[in-house]
Amino acid sequence: MSSNGTMVKLSGVRKIYDTGKVKVEALRGIDLSVRRGEFMTLVGPSGSGKSTLMNILGCLDVPSDGTYEFDGQRVDRLPLSQLAEIRNRSIGFVFQNFNLLPYSTALENVELPLVFRGLGAKERRKRASELLEKIGLGDRMEHKATELSGGQMQRVAIARALANNPPLLLADEPTGNLDSASGREIVDLFEELWKAGHTIMIITHDPNLPMRTERTIHMRDGRLENGAAG
Amino acid sequence: MTLKLFLQYFWRDFRKQKKRATLTVAAIVWGTFSILMLLAFGEGLKDQLGKNQRSLGECIIIVWPGQTSIPYKGLPRGRRIHFRPEDVELIKKSIPEISRVGAEYSNWGVDVVNGKKVFSQHVTGEYPTYEYMRVQYAERGGRYLNDTDMEYKRRVVFLGYELNKKLFGDEPSVGQTVFISRIPFTVIGVGQNKQQMGMYGGPDVEKATMPATTYQSIFGDKYLDNLVIQPRDAETAELVKSRLYQVMGAKAQFDPTDKQALSIWDTIENQKDFAKMMLGMQIFMGILGGLTLLIAGVGVANIMYVVIKERTKEIGIKMALGARPQTIHNQFLLEALLICFSGGAIGIFISQLLCDLASIVPRDPTSSMSWLGNPTISLPIGIITVVILAIIGLTAGYFPARRAARLNPAETLRYE
Ligand SMILES: Nc1ncnc2c1ncn2[C@@H]1O[C@H](COP(=O)(O)OP(=O)(O)OP(=O)(O)O)[C@@H](O)[C@H]1O
Ligand SMILES: [Mg+2]
């Protein structure tokens, strides 16, 4: 894969949630390409399908219809264990509610993706503490997740997303639960990571954030609104 | 999954559902305990019953004279058969499959006297071969009758354990003189105490025994009361019995097919039946304990379903970070096993404690407690228990773990 090739390519992707009585068509035919190294925001009203789209991009879910190529490989019909491996190696997630393991320390949380990769304890520790130092939490490594502030938790989550140095970072409203100062710090951090070469997509309701990214995708009713196929 | 993380989460869950978890572990403890106790006491009981069973004799055939039921060579039916001393020699010579043969005279209500103590007892005259065949072992410091006693018709007596106690109390008796039918006898030995399961003519511990020849010269009995035969091999018992009918039939003039001419008690058959019965008992006890564990296993499965529901979010996070379904599966399977083995370990510990206690309690071999024998958790019992626990843990954990592994990561992360 060349460095400025296509990272993600969706064609005709649909997602239908079948909740027994009603069928919800959350994605109604999405065509989307994302180049390696892009920094983009995904915006749209609540319920428009942003999270659903991001779950599919992150291999947390599979499309009901259409195709998905990740890094040149068809992944829409892969078995669960291979999807797990892609998530582990190539995708980092950051969530609105942080999703840290609450009773584990910051260090242990950051080590987790390395555990699933099968790395030895020493190497895990080294890599995780380096990452925590880098995001300015070197003095909070042994703190339980529940003992950290929201901004600190989100930075731990970003460090965890970076553990296996994945090319793609996906963030679903990462500043949604933070005050504006902490939110700004997180966005700064993402910008740094983009400059360091990561491909980043952020879902946001913050009207100021799209101005800082290269590209903005608008969603409405399960469809992309403008020339997003890019 | 690191062990530390694993144990940490296991422990946290455990504390969060203290009541349910405690109940489940308690069920495993109880199941393990009951299966172990049943098997261990079963083993002890089997040993002890076996010992009691053998206190009559090891693989012996006891023969009493009967009455003919078939006319033979012009002789009428209903004729009484008798055993004479020469028959013992004859049988020994004619049936090579026999390793030992002996016989006895016996009489009830004979006065046995030591000083002022007078008891009316069962007195027998026995062959020296009875020592091994009828387990007439002497306590330390004494001996049973021997061939020289027989040959010289010595006036020596071997006292049963209880009789000796009545006559001498705690005083040493070997070398002392007792009067039997007003004739002085030297005590040469005292029988070991034994709890006797099979018996005829009364318990050995109440008998006074003298050489058969001495007995015959004093009491003048013409006929032996019964014979005792020991085949070389338990497998040849049937052959020995049919030979006996031929040899004695020729000697005492009866039809060898006339079953009633001799009355036979084959203790070998008894012992085989007994072994089968004991095996049946242990299987039954094992099944009971197993069922208890099965119920406990259902409890474990139940608790695992709850654990997985409560940890849905954790499962989702791990999946998002790249945990494979197999990893999630193994984690919960391991937890189920851990519950089973921690309960099992406590159960084994309590059982061992109880076995130790049971073997500390002092018991004399005739008391009712002695029927328990020494309960033991043998290696095979231990292995069986661990294997059963592992099977229960694996099956109880498998289905909940499979459910966890098949969860959809996106759905799981939405779960609150
Ligand atoms: N697991 C699910 N089962 C059923 N319906 C679902 C599921 N997930 C999402 N939906 C539905 O799909 C639609 C899109 O939901 P989605 O979460 O993608 O919206 P969103 O754009 O992320 O909204 P928000 O900005 O509020 O987070 C909604 O109508 C939602 O109710
Ligand atoms: Mg959303």
pLDDT tens-digit profile of A112-122? Answer: 999 999 998 89
Q: Find the helix packing angle between B85-94 and B237-252, rounded to 10°.
A: 130
B9–A115 C-beta distance less than 8 A:
no
Q: Does B326 touch chain A (CB under 8 A)?
A: yes
Q: CB of A222 closer than 6 A to ligand 1?
A: no
B318–A112 C-beta distance less than 8 A:
yes
Q: Whose CA is nearest to atom 4 of ligand 1?
A: A17
For residue B312, pLDDT over 60 is answered with: yes
pLDDT tens-digit profile of A137-166? 999 999 999 999 999 999 999 999 999 999
Q: CB of A51 closer than 6 A to ligand 1?
A: yes
Residues in chain B within 8 Å Cβ distance of A112: 318, 321
Looking at this protein, which amino acid is placed at residue B59?
A: C
State residue A99's pLDDT score: 95
State residue B297's pLDDT score: 85
State residue A2's pLDDT score: 44
Sign of the dihedral defined by the CA atoms of residues B122, B130, B277, B390, in that order: positive
Residue B52's pLDDT band (boundaries 50, 70, 90)? low
> If you average pLDDT over each of A3-7, B25-29, B338-342, which comes out highest?
B338-342
State residue A229's pLDDT score: 47
pLDDT tens-digit profile of B390-401? 898 899 999 999
Neighbours of ion ligand 2 (CB under 5 A): A 51
Q: Whose CA is nearest to atom 25 of ligand 1?
A: A46
pLDDT tens-digit profile of B234-261? 788 889 999 999 999 999 999 999 999 9
State residue B194's pLDDT score: 84
**More confident: B319 or B286:** B319
Q: Whose CA is nearest to atom 26 of ligand 1?
A: A46
State residue A4's pLDDT score: 56
B409–A60 C-beta distance less than 8 A:
yes
pTM: 0.69
For residue A225, pLDDT over 80 is answered with: yes
The candidate with the shortest Cα–Cα distance to B228, out of B60, B52, B53, is B60
Distance CA A98, CA B312 (A): 16
Q: Does B100 touch chain A (CB under 8 A)?
A: no
Please state the domain extents for chain B. 3-54+272-413, 61-267
Bridge partners of B62, per DSSP, are B228, B265
pLDDT tens-digit profile of B320-374? 999 999 999 998 998 889 888 888 899 889 988 888 887 776 655 555 555 556 6
For residue A46, pLDDT over 90 is answered with: yes
* Closest listed ligand to the CA of B414: 1
Distance CA A54, CA B371 (A): 74
Per the CB < 8 A criterion, the answer to whether B65 and B79 are in contact is no
Per the CB < 8 A criterion, the answer to whether B38 and B289 are in contact is yes
* Average pLDDT of chain B to the nearest whole number: 87
pLDDT tens-digit profile of B132-191? 888 899 999 999 999 999 999 999 999 999 999 999 999 999 999 999 999 999 999 999
Per the CB < 8 A criterion, the answer to whether A219 and A48 are in contact is yes
Distance CA A83, CA B172 (A): 89
